[in-house]
Amino acid sequence: MRRNSTTILAVAAATLQFLSPAWAEDEQDEEAETFIITGSPLEQTAAETAATVTTVKREEILQSGAASLGDLLANEAGIHQSSFASGASRPIIRGLDNFRVRVQENGVGSHDASALSEDHGVPIDPFSATQIEVVRGPAVLRYGSEAIGGVVNVINNRIPTYVPETGLSAEGFSMISSADNGWQVGGLVDFGTNQFAGHIDAFFRHSDDYDIPEVPGTQAQTRLEQSGASLGGSVLLDRGHVGGSISFFQSEYDIPAAEADLFIEMEQVRIQVGGDLDELSAAFPRATFSIGFSDYTHDEIQEESGQVSSTFNNEEIEGRVELTHAAVPSPLGEITGAVGFQARARDLTASGEGGELLAPSETRALGAFLFEEVPLVEQATLQLAARVEHVEVDGTGFLPQGSQGTEFAASRDFTPLGASAGVVVDLGNDLYLSGTAQSVQRAPDVLELFAKGPHESTETFELGDPDLSVETARSLEATLEQTHGSIRFEIAVFHTQFEDFIFKNFTGIQCGGEFDTCGVEDGLNQIVYTQEDATFTGFEASAEVDLLPLGDGILTLDLMADHVRAELDAGGNVPRIPPFRYGAGLTYEDDRFTAHAGFTHVDEQDNLAAFETPTGAYTRIDAELSYRFNMPNTETPFEIGIAANNLTDEAIRNHTSFKKDDVLLPGRNIRLFVRARF
């Protein structure tokens, strides 16, 4: 349902007036920023683990106004986005996406259909997150095959771990934006008494088709409307906590540049239980566990007729437990570490055109892993990890024989293995050097094995290969990180050799709605899932340099750059690889003000796969100003701010997007936001 923009702005402005003021961060938030979760089962900072980890804080999450994880993370070094639609944009890590990037909430997978296709959104909204952690590079050893390219872990307090000091804390947030007549509002409450902690959060977001700097001035079919809510509670024990949450997510968004006007209605209900127990036993002093169940569905609907053309349903359950073991003496020193177990079951069904693409399937997976840390010398630590996993996939295979092809019941099982060794060296003065070598494997996903038909939203006709084998990645990575001081930076270089790399191979053949129309009719681009060896090499770098003090604050120079080169060993390039990118900016911050201005330049991409087209270079300029102050007669301040994206109204096309030849990213956009806590 489309809404009058004047009404939207009026409602948003009224919302801002009722937000309760506050600003001071809880001690729990500060502790959450100190420790990482996705990089190590031990309590370690990012610098103390050999994994390369990016942490996005809550202030950055809210001020971005992002409606998707891809949009939120797209400016982080080494991370890009698929930007298929306003409601569907997955993160791309070092050129890898979909089945190689695991998206999860508090350690449990997102349980959706977003990896199946770029038009499918992720049912995790950034608003609820206290922080988001991204492991760049393989995290498969802890989280399974689908993490061979990296992990995006959304951390929130939906299963609460503490009671606020006063027994109640709350936060409100609202934003309006100019390019899409957009507005969003959300709130969360944490409460408790004695040994019980509770949590509630909710949000609503709406935007119209957004403005672009080229004729016709608006990018059609980019409308979005989303909402969600969650309720959680925990029993706080003397030595840990046990709790659970239930959450609901709903999204309705248009698919731009589709042959027929389409929109998607997506819903998910998610139940998650988790906790941790300390002083469990002498052998295993700490245990953490989590179990998640989700029921996900989305319909692809013809806007003119209201007819549902495709439906995807995904029911999934996943559980994991990690046991930290007691220190074990060794000639080098005490060995510390953890063992873990993970299991998941997934039932995926599709109907309508979606049923032509993929028949009902089942996936079952069991995995076990270990992580060990061994001191080499006083300043150096060896980190070892290993994983074994068994995956079974049942579905309907398709062999493209003759004019019709043949369907048959198929069952495949795989046993991906993985191992890694890394060394972290403390060079002193908060400077850390780390190096990692890994060999990890990924089992093919159901779509790669069993795709067999048309997908209208992506305008593709997809053919899987039921004979695909496991994909193996052998990686070397080195990182240098300065965590404190007037110059802070992180530089990582990586080289990954893929054996039997699985990718979407555009054949150049056009198809209609059936296999026998391929090469005869047009409208859909034929894709065949293919395996070839490939090599990925690249780097990412980011830095903050304190230039000089100004008043009560400090002026800081921000720098970033990243690049990945991905080639097929037999010749040619891997499709949809982001080009070289760099950026710089200045930030001033004191107790009341934060001001930032900077640019990001993206080079032309002309290292193309077959049937790809070049994408032009662009430079985007962004700026932001926020102010924190006390309301009269109160001691609890709140924050207001203004931000501008793409100030020069640059025409931006994203090379990693399937829609980049037809869809521009938004033009100049001005956002006003307010945040309040009490």
Q: Which residues of 188-226 are buried (b: 16+ CB within 10 A; e: fewer)?
A: bebbbeeeebbbbbbbbbbbbbbbbeeeeeebebbbbbb
Nearest to 403 by CA among 519, 270, 513, 569: 519
Q: What is the pLDDT of residue 377?
A: 85
- Whether residue 103 contacts residue 135, with contact meaning beta carbons closer than 8 Å, is answered with no
Instruction: Determine the Cα angle at 534 with ends 530 and 537, to 5°.
Output: 145
Q: What is the pLDDT of residue 443?
A: 96
3-state class (DSSP) for residue 143: helix
- Above 80 in pLDDT, residue 38? no
Q: Say how many C-beta atoms besides its own lie within 10 A of residue 645's C-beta.
A: 20
State how far the Cα of 101 lies from the Cα of 298, in Å rounded to an integer. 21
Q: What is the pLDDT of residue 138?
A: 66
- Above 60 in pLDDT, residue 2? no
- Above 50 in pLDDT, residue 9? no
Q: What is the pLDDT of residue 197?
A: 97
482 alpha-carbon distance from chain centroid:
25
Q: How confident is the model at residue 674 (pLDDT cuts 50, 70, 90)?
A: very high
Q: What is the pLDDT of residue 65?
A: 84
428 Rama sector, left if φ>0, alpha if ψ -120 to 50, beta otherwise: left
Q: How confident is the model at residue 486 (pLDDT cuts 50, 70, 90)?
A: very high
- Above 80 in pLDDT, residue 299? yes
3-state class (DSSP) for residue 69: helix
Q: Which helix (H) or strand (E) is 327 found in, with range?
A: strand 308-328
Q: Tell me which DSSP letter residue 443 carries.
A: P
- Above 50 in pLDDT, residue 73? yes
Work out the mean pLDDT of the chain and round it to a whole number: 89
Q: What is the pLDDT of residue 437?
A: 94
- Above 60 in pLDDT, residue 308? yes
Q: Report the CATH number of the 5-677 domain.
A: 2.40.170.20
- Above 90 in pLDDT, residue 481? yes
Averaged over 65-88, what is the pLDDT? Answer: 92
Q: Which helix (H) or strand (E) is 675 found in, with range?
A: strand 669-677
Q: What is the pLDDT of residue 604?
A: 97
Q: What is the pLDDT of residue 279?
A: 87
Of the candidate ranges 385-394, 400-409, 426-435, the one whose mean pLDDT is the lowest: 400-409
Averaged over 189-197, what is the pLDDT? Answer: 94
State how far the Cα of 159 lies from the Cα of 403, in Å rounded to an integer. 54
Q: What is the pLDDT of residue 559?
A: 97
- Whether residue 413 contacts residue 452, with contact meaning beta carbons closer than 8 Å, is answered with no
- Above 80 in pLDDT, residue 522? yes
- Above 60 in pLDDT, residue 84? yes
- Above 90 in pLDDT, residue 599? yes
652 alpha-carbon distance from chain centroid:
22
Averaged over 452-470, what is the pLDDT? Answer: 90
SS3 of 150-212: the string is EEEEEECCCCCCCCCCCCEEEEEEEEEECCCCEEEEEEEEEEEECCEEEEEEEEEEEECCCEC
State how far the Cα of 166 lies from the Cα of 188, in Å rounded to an integer. 16
Q: What is the pLDDT of residue 558?
A: 97
pLDDT tens string 232-279: 999 999 999 999 999 999 999 999 977 778 899 999 999 999 999 998
pLDDT tens string 321-354: 999 998 888 887 889 999 999 999 999 999 988 8
Q: What is the pLDDT of residue 213?
A: 96
Percent of the chain at pLDDT > 90 equals 71
Q: What is the pLDDT of residue 26?
A: 38
- Above 90 in pLDDT, residue 282? no
Q: What is the pLDDT of residue 315?
A: 96
Q: What is the pLDDT of residue 260?
A: 75
Q: How confident is the model at residue 183 (pLDDT cuts 50, 70, 90)?
A: very high
- Whether residue 592 contacts residue 628, with contact meaning beta carbons closer than 8 Å, is answered with yes
Of the candidate ranges 90-99, 586-595, 623-632, the one whose mean pLDDT is the lowest: 623-632
- Facing residues of 601 across strands? 582, 619
Q: What is the pLDDT of residue 32?
A: 36
Nearest to 450 by CA among 348, 370, 346: 348
- Above 50 in pLDDT, residue 366? yes
DSSP-derived pairing of the beta strands 262-278 and 240-255: antiparallel
Q: What is the pLDDT of residue 305?
A: 87
Q: What is the pLDDT of residue 329?
A: 87
Name the one residue in this structure whose structure tokens are 């409460």: 191
263 Rama sector, left if φ>0, alpha if ψ -120 to 50, beta otherwise: beta
Q: How confident is the model at residue 19 (pLDDT cuts 50, 70, 90)?
A: very low
- Above 50 in pLDDT, residue 5? no
Q: How confident is the model at residue 39 (pLDDT cuts 50, 70, 90)?
A: low
Q: What is the pLDDT of residue 47?
A: 66
Averaged over 581-606, what is the pLDDT? Answer: 96
- Above 70 in pLDDT, residue 6? no
Averaged over 599-607, what is the pLDDT? Answer: 96
**Domain locations in the chain as residue ranges:** 5-677
Q: What is the pLDDT of residue 353?
A: 83
State how far the Cα of 39 lies from the Cα of 37, in Å rounded to an integer. 6
pLDDT tens string 158-169: 999 999 988 999
